[in-house]
């Protein structure tokens, strides 16, 4: 049995790390982007961003002022036992979000959608958001992702049902059209981690796209060569557009293109995109049944990617 104080403290530390420490794979992608950038102003922008991200770790302050929607992903062992059960896990996550907000690791960003009421702690109806995946074992892996307003609100999240008649070309055209429109003038804070969901109902595709954007390790590839090829082709195509950091011109427009899929209906292919902003904030922690707490470098939400 994993005690409440153990998982609640781990949740708080995961939120704090997600908000203040850049993931190693995202940092590596930045270093590579700086090396290959030929636009001087864009290069300086990437360098300034990297410097600021490194300072956030030392200063323990947010990587970006917009600390985003608080989103949790729990990969739960089938025999995992938590004190108070999963209802208490969610209560603990809410308490941890409120505490992180009070201490300035998160900005009080979540508001009532109609009245604009600000509870001041990022807690409200259906927020934070929780997603579960069940696997063998008795441990729990907890991931926190902060989905920024820029990347979510300005057209980075879209869906379209593509006809089988249009196939891969239709999917790729949809992705490129969507990304160009949403990255204009830096709206979605490029260079983006672009997640693409193919198949399922529209919401399944949208969830896969979000998980591909927020949880996949930057630099990982889909194991199925057909999907890996879409990732590689779109990565190359999007980085040839000249959108660059904050849309002001440059060689790197996406840090990664990650595709996930589900089987779909014979009638059509639901396709969805989700862009994550350049800081691509996330953190993950594993707790074993013996209460051993381990920081994870990457969520490993999709097996080894």
Partner 1 sequence: MAEYHLTSPLSEEDVRKLKIGDTVYLSGNAFTCRSRLQRYIFDEGNTLPFDTSDRNILIHNGPIVIKENGSWRLVSFMPTSSIRFEKWGEKSVKEWGLRMIVGKTTMGEQTAQAMKEMGCVHVSPRSVSPNLWIDSITVEDVYLFDELGSIEAAWFFKINELGPFIVDIDSEGNNYFDRLDESIAESKKNALEQLGIGEEFKFTKLY
Query: Which lies closer to partner 1 via its Cβ, residue 279 or residue 300?
Result: 279
Candidate list 24, 104, 223, 225; residue touching partner 1; CB under 8 A = 104
Helices then strands, counting H and E runs in the chain, come out as: 8, 9
Residue 174 contacts residue 160 (beta carbons within 8 Å)? yes
Residues 6+ apart with CB under 8 A from 137: 77, 78, 79, 80
> Would you count residue 189 as binding partner 1 (CB under 8 A)?
yes
Minimum separation from the CB atom of position 35 to partner 1 (A)? 17
Measured CA angle at 87 (ends 84, 93), to 5 deg: 100
Query: Which lies closer to partner 1 via its Cβ, residue 236 or residue 292?
Result: 236
Candidate list 228, 248, 289, 296; residue touching partner 1; CB under 8 A = 248
> Would you count residue 31 as binding partner 1 (CB under 8 A)?
no
Minimum separation from the CB atom of position 3 to partner 1 (A)? 31
Query: Which lies closer to partner 1 via its Cβ, residue 168 or residue 293?
Result: 168
Which of 251, 212, 258 is closest to 231 using CA atoms?
Answer: 258
Query: Which lies closer to partner 1 via its Cβ, residue 91 or residue 203?
Result: 203
Measure Cα distances from 290 to 3, 24, 243, 286 in Å: 10, 28, 49, 11
Token code pair at residue 224:
């199925």
> Would you count residue 277 as binding partner 1 (CB under 8 A)?
yes
Minimum separation from the CB atom of position 107 to partner 1 (A)? 5
Residue 54 contacts residue 259 (beta carbons within 8 Å)? no
> Would you count residue 161 as binding partner 1 (CB under 8 A)?
yes
Burial 164-179 (b: 16+ CB within 10 A, else e): eeeeeebbbebbeebb
For partner 1, the binding residues in 49-68 under the rule CB under 8 A are 49, 51-52, 55-56, 59, 61-67
Residues that bind partner 1 (CB under 8 A): 41-42, 44-49, 51-52, 55-56, 59, 61-67, 104, 107-109, 116, 118, 120, 149-150, 153-154, 161-163, 165-166, 169-170, 172-174, 176, 180, 184-187, 189, 233, 236-238, 240-243, 245-249, 268, 277-279
């Amino acid at each position: 049995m994993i005690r409440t104080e153990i998982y609640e403290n781990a949740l708080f530390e995961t939120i704090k790390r997600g908000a203040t420490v850049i993931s190693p794979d995202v940092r590596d992608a930045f270093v590579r982007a700086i090396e290959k950038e030929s636009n001087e102003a864009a290069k300086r922008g990437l360098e300034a961003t990297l410097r600021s991200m490194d300072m956030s770790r030392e200063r323990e302050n947010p990587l970006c002022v917009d600390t985003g929607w608080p989103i949790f992903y729990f990969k739960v062992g089938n025999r995992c036992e938590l004190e108070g059960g999963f209802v208490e896990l969610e209560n603990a996550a809410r308490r941890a979000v409120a505490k992180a907000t009070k201490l300035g690791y998160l900005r009080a960003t979540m508001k009532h959608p109609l009245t604009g009421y600000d509870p001041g702690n990022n807690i409200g109806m259906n927020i934070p958001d929780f997603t579960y995946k069940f696997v063998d074992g008795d441990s729990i892996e907890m991931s926190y992702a902060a989905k920024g307003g820029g990347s979510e609100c300005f057209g980075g999240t879209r869906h379209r049902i593509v006809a089988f008649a249009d196939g891969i070309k239709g999917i790729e055209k949809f992705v490129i059209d969507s990304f160009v429109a949403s990255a204009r003038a830096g709206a979605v804070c490029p260079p983006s981690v672009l997640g693409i969901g193919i198949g399922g109902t529209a919401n399944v595709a949208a969830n896969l796209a979000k998980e591909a954007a927020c949880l996949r390790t930057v630099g990982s590839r889909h194991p199925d060569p057909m999907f890996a090829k879409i990732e590689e082709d779109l990565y190359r195509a999007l980085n040839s557009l000249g959108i660059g950091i904050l849309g002001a011109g440059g060689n790197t427009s996406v840090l990664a293109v990650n595709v996930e899929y589900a089987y779909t209906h014979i009638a059509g292919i639901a396709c969805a995109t989700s862009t994550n902003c350049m800081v691509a904030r996330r953190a993950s922690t594993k707790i074993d049944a013996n209460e051993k707490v381990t920081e994870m470098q990457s969520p490993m939400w999709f097996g080894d990617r």
